[in-house]
């Protein structure tokens, strides 16, 4: 996320985030190569930028920070390729 969406600061989001983390028992659901195992964040399965539901629990899953951030960078790179952007690919710092 390059700009901060104000919906992430609302009480509704904090409540939904807590429910998703509880539903997934605090375990990262992505399980990437740098996975920490325990989830501290919530990931949109289908990115909002790609038409995913921001508030839908079915579009949310628990994620550790490295998996969530790495996946976001991968999706940004895929969008650039799909839409013909020739700028350099975004790289994570992990």
Please give the tally of structural domains in the chain. 1
The CA distance from 4 to 22, in Å, is 24
pTM: 0.72
Residue 54 inside a domain? The answer is yes
Tell me if 28 sits within 8 A of 44, measured CB to CB: no
The CA distance from 51 to 70, in Å, is 20
Domain range for residue 18?
A: 8-81
Residue 27 inside a domain? The answer is yes
Dihedral of alpha carbons 2, 44, 33, 22, sign: positive
Condensed to tens digits (0 to 9), the pLDDT of residues 25-79 reads: 999 999 999 999 999 999 999 988 889 999 999 999 999 999 998 875 555 545 4
The CA distance from 39 to 21, in Å, is 7
Residue 2 inside a domain? The answer is no
The CA distance from 15 to 88, in Å, is 37
> In terms of DSSP H, where are the helices of the chain?
11-23, 65-82
């Amino acid at each position: 996320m390059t700009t901060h969406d104000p919906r992430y600061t609302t009480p509704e989001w904090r409540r939904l985030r807590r429910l998703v983390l509880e539903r997934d028992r605090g375990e990262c659901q992505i399980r990437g190569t740098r996975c920490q195992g325990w989830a501290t964040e919530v990931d949109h399965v289908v990115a909002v930028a790609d038409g995913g539901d921001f508030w839908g629990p079915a579009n949310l899953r628990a994620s550790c920070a490295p998996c969530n951030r790495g996946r976001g960078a991968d999706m940004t790179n895929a969008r650039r390729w799909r839409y013909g952007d020739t700028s350099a690919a975004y790289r994570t710092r992990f």
